[in-house]
Structures are given as structure tokens and as C-alpha cells.
Amino acid sequence: MATGATGFSDLAYDLISVQYHGLKDGHDLDRYVKDAETAGEEDIADFFRAVMQEDAARARRCHEFLSRLTHDGAGGPAIGGESAAGGRDTGTDEGSPIVAGPESRERSAVTR
């Protein structure tokens, strides 16, 4: 499988790109639906809603494919591949605390 300059397969990058744009477009389309409703153009609002559903379906499908690549270990370092050090990439730096929210920040500051 071809690998891009990032170390990820071109296929994983392509899927991530399609997923990102579908989700971002869905966010923008919500505003378009409201604009059409404000203008009293319900058929145009319905059109934008349909496009949103199509984008969401595409994003879900990309997620399914990315999950498969992750499971197969074929996606790249962050998608089930090997880290630069040669071990399995877990997505965390050993020894550094994972910070989830304000209360975690307070706890991790105490443990440092």
C-alpha cells in the first residue's frame, strides 16, 4: 500500500479527508437550512437536509473503513501501525499523564 510523506497510507489519508469534509460540510449546511427556513423556502431547506444526511452517511462509511484499516494495521503509525521507535503506537507518551478536563489538570499538576 502506498504511503504518503506523513507515514500514513494514501488510502487512510483519503478516507480521513472525505470524512472531515463531510462532517465540516454538515456543520455549514445546518446554517444553510436555517437560512432557507428564514426565507420561507422549505423545499430548499429540505434539499439542504438531504445533503446533510448524505454527508453524514459518507462520514460514517469512512469511519467504518478506517476502523477496518485500524484493525488490519494497514493505516499508518496512528492507525494501528508501528511507532517511530519500532513498537506498537498506543497514542500516548509513556510517563506523561493523560489530561481529560479541568479536574484532571489539577490532579496531574499535583503528581508532577
Residue-number span of the structural domain to which 46 is assigned: 1-82
Q: How many domains does the chain have?
A: 1
* pLDDT value, residue 56: 92
Asked whether residue 104 is assigned to any structural domain, the reply reads: no
What is the rounded distance in angstroms from the CA atom of residue 80 to the CA atom of residue 70?
A: 5
Question: Tell me: the pLDDT tens digits for 63-85?
Answer: 999 999 877 655 555 545 444 44
Asked whether residue 52 is assigned to any structural domain, the reply reads: yes
Asked whether residue 109 is assigned to any structural domain, the reply reads: no
Asked whether residue 71 is assigned to any structural domain, the reply reads: yes
Q: Which helix (H) or strand (E) holds 46?
A: helix 42-72
* pLDDT value, residue 48: 97
Asked whether residue 94 is assigned to any structural domain, the reply reads: no
Q: Is the pLDDT of residue 34 over 60?
A: yes
**Are the C-beta atoms of residues 69 and 76 closer than 8 Å to each other?**
no
Asked whether residue 90 is assigned to any structural domain, the reply reads: no
**Are the C-beta atoms of residues 15 and 62 closer than 8 Å to each other?**
yes
Asked whether residue 88 is assigned to any structural domain, the reply reads: no
Asked whether residue 87 is assigned to any structural domain, the reply reads: no
